Copies of this chain bind each other. A is one copy, B any other.
Amino acid sequence: MKTEKISEFTINRLSIYLRCLNLLAASGVTTTSSQSMAQQFQLNSAQIRKDLTYFGEFGVRGVGYSVSELRKHLSQILGLGELHKIGIIGAGNLGMALANYRGFDPKYFQVTALFDKDLSRVGEISRSGVFVYHIKDFKPIVMRENITMGVICVPAEEAQAVLDLITDAGVMAVLNFAPVQLNAETGVKLKSMDLAISFESLSYFLARQESGSAEGQPKFLRPYSKDKILPE
């Protein structure tokens, strides 16, 4: 493995590759190649290879990759060996929805506790069985339950204070849903999912469409790629 720094883009794609491999495995495929993956899933074969080689040489020249081997490697790289316990701060709509969410593999991610400052919510239990604690108990519960990831689901005004609290409790990985730029301490990994930005970006697009119209929007054409299946 190289000491080069690896970009967030690469890491995100590893998740995508793993997902593709899971699909292949589910349909009984045991061997694949960067080219065949690229075609099936609309990726670029060179990029797949380059991304993988940051972490090792997982393929065989002239042959390709073993689906099961590569899955194992990617899982390991992504730290999916052990269960990650998640604490969600803010037991409103979004927090509750995430606690009940079935979108991620329960083998790897488990929402272990909800927290809220509002006493009327404390003591509630989500449909999936997650208890709502008072925010003042955050640190002890994090310790007791060994929570390693925090999710911020509070209003923008409270988000920075919550991040500080999370950080203070020793949780080093945080996903933020509040529509604010937060300042994380060095060593803390903060990812933000900003709904407002996403909707405004869609809005921007729609505003362009209406005016521009007609004569082609070359900007939005999918780029040609060798790996795409071309109409004959």
Interface residues of A (CB under 8 A from B): 5, 8, 11-12, 14-16, 18-19, 41-42, 77-81, 84, 86, 93-94, 96-98, 100-105, 108-109, 127, 148-149, 155-156, 172-175, 177-181, 183, 186-187, 189, 191, 193-209, 217, 219-222
Contact = CB atoms under 8 A, between A and B. Distances in A.
Nearest to A153: B97
Contacts of A80: 200, 203
Nearest to A95: B97
Contacts of A199: 84, 86, 104, 108-109, 149, 175
A226 B200 CA distance: 29
A221 B5 CA distance: 12
Contacts of A195: 98, 101, 103-104, 193
A43 to B, nearest CB: 8
16 contacts: A8-B201, A11-B201, A18-B200, A77-B204, A78-B203, A79-B208, A93-B101, A94-B97, A103-B156, A104-B179, A105-B196, A172-B206, A187-B209, A189-B201, A193-B193, A193-B195
A102 B178 CA distance: 11
A9 to B, nearest CB: 10
A209 B172 CA distance: 9
A189 B208 CA distance: 11
B187 A191 contact: no
Contacts of A194: 15
